[in-house]
A and B are shown apart, each in its own frame.
Chain A
Amino acid sequence: MALDEYRPQEGDEAYEGPREFRQVGTRPDRPDGFDKVTGRARFGADMYAPGMLHAAILRSPHAHARIVRLDTSKAEALEGVKAVVTRADFSKNVIFAPGTVGEFWNILENIMAGEKALYDGHAVAAVAATTPLIARDALKLIEVEYEILPHVTDVDEAMKPGAPVIREGAADRSVPEGMHPNVVRYHESGHGDVEAGFAEADLVIEDHFTTEATHQGYIEPHACLGTLGADGKGELWCCTQGHWYVQKVCAALLDLETANLRVTASEIGGGFGGKTTVFIEPVALALSRKAGRPVKLVMSRAEVFRATGPTASASMDIRIGMKKDGTITAAQGTFRLQGGAFPGAPMEFTAMCAFACYDLRHVRQVGYDVMTNRPKQAAYRAPGSPMAAFAVESVIDELCNRLGLDPIEVRLKNAAREGTKASYGPTYPRIGLVETLEAARAHPHYAAPLKPGQGRGISCGFWFNYGGETSVSLALSEDGSAQVMVGTPDIGGSRASMALMAAEVLGIPYENIRVTVADTGSLGYNEISHGSRVTYASGLATIKAARDAVRKLRQRAADKWGIDVEAVDWVDGCAVPSGPNAGDFDPLPLAEITKTMGATGGPISGHFEATPEGAGVSFATHIVDAEVDRETGKTRVVRYTVVQDAGKAIHPTYVEGQFQGGAAQGIGWALNEEYIYGEDGRLQNPGFLDYRIPVASDLPMIDTVIVEVPNPGHPFGVRGVGETSICPPLAAIANAVSNAAGVRLRDLPMRPSRILDELEKQRDDA
């Protein structure tokens, strides 16, 4: 996905002011709950088709190698094998371009290697056979001769003179002269004069931080079922965060007309950004076209780790100056992110989010997008922001400690507010950072006593949020129930939020609304479910589509009563005469109007299509207590509180769920999770045993506080809530560790061996 799709937004849809809600803000059961607790829900791998074949992908075992010879003839000859594809079976019309401009070329090159394998796990060929076992056997018969090339997997190494070049000509024009060809994009922003600012400080701290690549870790591996005929028409079922995007990419990579490929999104077993792009769908379709049969392709967990997007890893330098009273005088950051063997590491977001929480006169940030021999990074929950928050909030904590200041008071003193010029340029409208800090300060957690060996950490976090292209249709049934068609897959209960908003506007019970995730043939374009956009943008479109239907309902009542539509109000699900006609007629309920709609002008439905641009930025403050075992180096999170601004919580339980889920992922990133590469450039831990995400026994309950500072760009005040919650945990835990054990961890993850090293240094120093 193009990075500029995440660009920060300015508002155009106005908040309509505080009001009494009847349904919004309640906590009904989700409409798809029954299917999901009984095993009926169909996820990516749960679809079967008559005559279906099973596919498997051959992947490079080398980090960097030229493909000298590729012979698939023995595999093709195996009994049961129906098709084999290589790069030659994909479009020749997808054009290379530097930077992220050539995104489709980058996707094509990523899903099927061209002349070179660029990372361990890079796809080289694929097979479709009558059973999964035959497909796997056939892979072993494909002969590939590789010429192994020198590789590089570390971001700092990849920038050094003499580092192996991943691809000449991949850099775009933003990159300053003289940089290594692996540096492919450059960003610079800020305002003021940082050197003057540092001169005013009583204390300046400058430090270096690193974070490793982590994987989104959705439990459902990528899976799809594709059918494509020689006539260029096809059907695709897949787990994705955005099926219109899949449609567009597959059409481009296979030379199809977009409308001739109908894509249906399955239920999705987690995404967190990792399912915003395309990995296997064009491969399944290419195999299907060749074999003339439906093809199912399901990734193994090892493939998910080796070949789908982890987040970028980062190397960062931060410098912040503070006065004795806690005022930040200047801030500066350099962010080097590696995003694998392709351009696109979200370094501009890292740079732009880094200091977004603070009102700064002097601020400057620089970002580098660097290529290495690793899988192509993909978005992961607030892409780019958590690593920045880790580095910046760690330095702020260190400044507070050394100056003897309270971490919440210092953040409040410097907090961005309405009217603040953001570090990344725009001036903030109404925002809720101060409110989250005040709520954190007032929370009993902040004053609770700590046990020996425990420390408390605080951190703030920021994410832009996003709107994007959105279409929603709402159709009324004769009995007065309503079907809402949305185009954004339901990753975490969004059907419930949409139904609540539609019910609120229509004035009918929540239970009478069915929300369906429509396929690409049933609705206009919908952008991917990303950027925390679903409740904001699909929600806004649902409200507007429902209002469109209400306008038509009022018209029918006006026609029936023989009065002007302007003299008909909509109150609690009924048309009511108003103004001079008030009281002239009995209220006319929605179901009464729909009962006769066929005879009074035809079916009634509502539509809305737009690209809403008023997504409200979102802030959070987290409090964490951690305990460090000085003998083993193990860190345990013993208490956790998330405070975040939701604007308006439509379904508070699912908002809490987003807060808790983001915090848990952040805890994993901080303490355990990392991509480990060997000397040979191969990924050492492509499984859940060695890539350890938090399990139930690792975590405490995660307390939540929902702050509601309405987003000026949404009628009900909604802000996205999905992403910000992963930004603060990294630093909050590092700060807690520092307060618990007196050691400052500047490299993630804070695994026991690193903590033990720091404790040893501490003993040596003493």
Chain B
Amino acid sequence: MTKIHVTARINGDEVEFLCDPRETMLDVLRDRLGLIGAKEGCGTGDCGACSITLDGRLVCSCLMLGVEAEGREIGTVEGIAEGENLHPLQRKFIEHAALQCGFCTPGILVAAKNLLERNPDPSEEEVRYWLAGNLCRCTGYDKIIRAVLDAAAEMREAS
């Protein structure tokens, strides 16, 4: 099948790629662009491990086609840290042991960062509902929720 040329901005950088019209954005990121941070847990929009932002909106990259990225702005877990400085969410995830296997972590970080950009002071319940689309099988979510709330508090103090 003929491939389609796509230009997009990913984590701030302009990127060009060719992709099969049937290929998902997740496959493009991982298999064509070497951005393996987004994970495939289900491929059907049910687990959130593939979460990215598309023009600032949280989406499942497994439900998006690569060709749909044309002209858009994409954010992945690889773009969360600023240079060598981890984002407060990343630091708090390590500090609170909010990951066991760490497979859900990239998606949860992308989703949590997106939440805090919209709502810098979420309640526990708001965090739980915002992250309801991100499955974690290891932690029971307790430490994840605490890490997000703690990062939010630190970011509020800093701003």
A residues touching B (Cβ–Cβ < 8 Å)? 27, 29-30, 32-34, 36-43, 45-46, 48, 131-133, 216-221, 267-272, 298, 300-301, 491-493, 653-654, 656-658, 660-661, 663-665, 687-689, 693-697, 699, 701-702
Sample (29) of A-B pairs whose CB atoms are under 8 Å apart? A30-B94, A33-B94, A37-B105, A37-B109, A38-B78, A43-B103, A45-B30, A46-B36, A48-B31, A132-B31, A133-B23, A218-B101, A218-B103, A219-B47, A269-B104, A493-B100, A653-B96, A657-B143, A660-B143, A661-B137, A664-B139, A687-B42, A687-B46, A695-B133, A696-B131, A696-B132, A696-B134, A697-B125, A697-B129
Contact partner of B44 among A301, A491, A657, CB < 8 A? A301
Shortest B2–chain A CB gap in Å is 13
B86 sits at the interface (CB 8 A): yes
Q: A217-B137, A658-B100, A689-B46 are in contact. List 9 more A-B contacts (CB 8 A).
A: A39-B77, A132-B31, A219-B49, A268-B101, A657-B138, A660-B139, A661-B137, A693-B135, A702-B140
Instruction: Tell me how far the C-beta of A671 lies from the nearest C-beta in chain B, rounded to whole angstroms.
Output: 14
Residues of chain B at interface, number, CB under 8 A: 60
User: Please, how many angstroms separate the alpha-carbon atoms of A191 and B78 in the complex?
Assistant: 60
- What chain A residues lie within 8 Å of B96 (beta carbons)? 653
Contact B100 A219, beta carbon cutoff 8 Å: no
Q: Is the CB of A269 within 8 A of B141?
A: no
Question: Within the assembled complex, what's the spacing in Å between the Cα atoms of A335 and B83?
Answer: 57
In the complex, which residue of chain A has the Cβ closest to the Cβ of B100? A492
User: In the assembled complex, which residues on chain A have CB atoms less than 8 Å from the CB atom of B140?
Assistant: 660-661, 663-664, 694, 699, 702
Residues of A within 8 A of B42 (CB): 301, 687-688
User: 4 smallest A-B Cβ distances: which pairs?
Assistant: A39-B37, A269-B103, A664-B140, A36-B102
Known: A657-B97, A657-B138. A696 touches B49 (CB 8 A): no
The answer to whether B41 touches A37, judged by C-beta atoms less than 8 angstroms apart, is no
Find out whether the CB atom of A696 lies under 8 angstroms from the CB atom of B39.
Answer: no
CA distance A525 to B76 in the complex (A): 39
Q: Tell whether B28 is near chain A: CB-to-CB under 8 Å.
A: no
Determine the residue in chain B with the shortest Cβ distance to A270: B101
Residue of B nearest to A272 (CB): B137
Over the window 53-90 of chain B, the binary record of Cβ atoms lying under 8 Å from chain A Cβ atoms (1 yes, 0 no) is 00000000000000000000000111011000010001
Interface SS, A side: loop
A39-B78, A693-B135, A693-B137 known; A653+B97 contact, CB < 8 A? yes
Contact partner of B94 among A37, A45, A267, CB < 8 A? A37
A660 contact set on B, CB distance < 8 A: 139-140, 142-143
| Chain B 94-130 interface residues, beta-carbon cutoff 8 Å to A | 94-97, 99-106, 109, 125, 127-129
Given contacts A220-B103, A688-B47, A696-B141, contact A42 B36 (CB under 8 A): yes
Taken together as a complex, chains A and B put the C-alpha atoms of A48 and B101 apart, in Å, by 21
- Give the distance to chain B from A410, nearest Cβ to Cβ, in Å: 28
B106 to A697, Cβ gap below 8 A? no
Q: Are B102 and A267 in contact (CB under 8 A)?
A: yes
State A29–B92 Cα separation when bound (angstroms). Answer: 10
Determine how close the nearest CB of chain A comes to the CB of B23; give it in whole angstroms.
7
- The residue on A at minimum CB distance from B44 is A687
Q: Does B22 contact A (CB under 8 A)?
A: yes
Q: Is A39 a contact of B36 with CB atoms below 8 Å? A: yes
The complex places the Cα of A359 from the Cα of B70 at a distance, in Å, of 69
A219-B104 contact given A30-B97, A132-B27, A688-B42, CB 8 Å threshold: yes
Is the CB of B6 closer than 8 A to any CB of chain A?
Answer: no
Smallest CB separation, A302 vs chain B (Å): 8
Chain A: which residue is nearest B107 at the CB level? A219
How far, in angstroms, from A46 to B29 measured CA to CA in the complex? 12
B80 closest partner in A (C-beta): A38
Task: Known contacts A301-B43, A696-B132, A702-B142; decide if A38 and B90 are in contact (CB<8 Å).
Answer: yes
Contact of A491 with B143 in the complex, beta carbons under 8 Å: no
Q: Is A661 within 8 A of B100, CB to CB?
A: yes
Report chain A residues within 8 Å CB of B105: 36-37
A29 engages B94 (CB within 8 Å): yes
Instruction: Point out which of B46, B129, B131 has the most chain A C-beta atoms below 10 A from its C-beta.
Output: B46
Task: Identify the closest chain B residue to A304 (Cβ).
Answer: B42
- Distance (whole angstroms) from the CB of B111 to the closest CB of chain A: 10
Instruction: Please tell me if the beta carbons of A270 and B103 are within 8 angstroms of each other in the complex.
Output: yes
B137 and A218 contacting across the interface, CB-CB below 8 Å: yes
Inter-chain CA distance A41–B37, complex, in Å, is 8
| B145 on the A face (CB < 8 A) | yes
CB atoms of B145 and A696 under 8 A apart? yes
Query: Which B residues are CB-close (under 8 A) to A41?
Result: 102
Question: Chain A's nearest CB lies how many Å from the CB of B101?
Answer: 5
Chain B, 12-56, CB within 8 A of any chain A CB: 20, 22-23, 27, 30-31, 35-44, 46-47, 49
Report A-chain residues with C-beta under 8 Å of the C-beta of B40: 45, 221, 298
Q: What residues of A have a CB within 8 angstroms of the CB of B97 in the complex?
A: 27, 30, 493, 653-654, 656-657
Min distance, Cβ B37 to any Cβ of chain A, angstroms: 2
How far is A218 from B105 in the complex, measured between Cα atoms in Å?
A: 13
B152 at the interface (CB under 8 A from A): no
Q: What B residues does A689 contact at CB under 8 A?
A: 44, 46
Which one, B106, B135, B143, contacts A39 given CB within 8 A? B106
Q: A381 CA to B41 CA in the complex, in Å?
A: 20
> Are A696 and B90 in touch, CB under 8 angstroms?
no
Shortest beta-carbon distance from B108 to chain A in Å = 9
B8 within 8 A of A: no
A39 and B76 contact, Cβ closer than 8 Å, known pairs A660-B139, A661-B139: yes
Minimum distance in angstroms from B117 CB to a CB of chain A: 18
- Give CA–CA (A693, B41) in the complex, Å: 13
Minimum C-beta distance from B33 to chain A (A) = 12
Residues of A within 8 A of B78 (CB): 38-39
Q: A residues within 8 A CB of B47?
A: 219, 301, 688
> What is the bound-complex CA distance between A694 and B136, given in angstroms?
9
Would B138 and A270 count as touching, CB distance under 8 A? yes
Min CB gap B89→A, angstroms: 8
- Minimum C-beta distance from B35 to chain A (A): 7
Closest to A216 in B: B137
Assembled-state Cα–Cα distance A697/B134 (Å) = 10
Given contacts A219-B136, A661-B140, contact A29 B95 (CB under 8 A): yes
Pairwise interchain contact A701-B142, C-beta atoms closer than 8 A: yes
Bound form: Cα–Cα A230–B137 in Å = 40
- In the assembled complex, the Cα of A701 lies from the Cα of B133 at a distance in Å of 18
A292 to B125, CA, bound (A): 54
Asked if A219 and B133 sit within 8 Å, CB to CB, the answer is: no
Known contacts A36-B99, A39-B78, A688-B47; is A664 also within 8 Å of B36 by CB? no
Give the complex CA separation of A132 and B27 in angstroms: 10
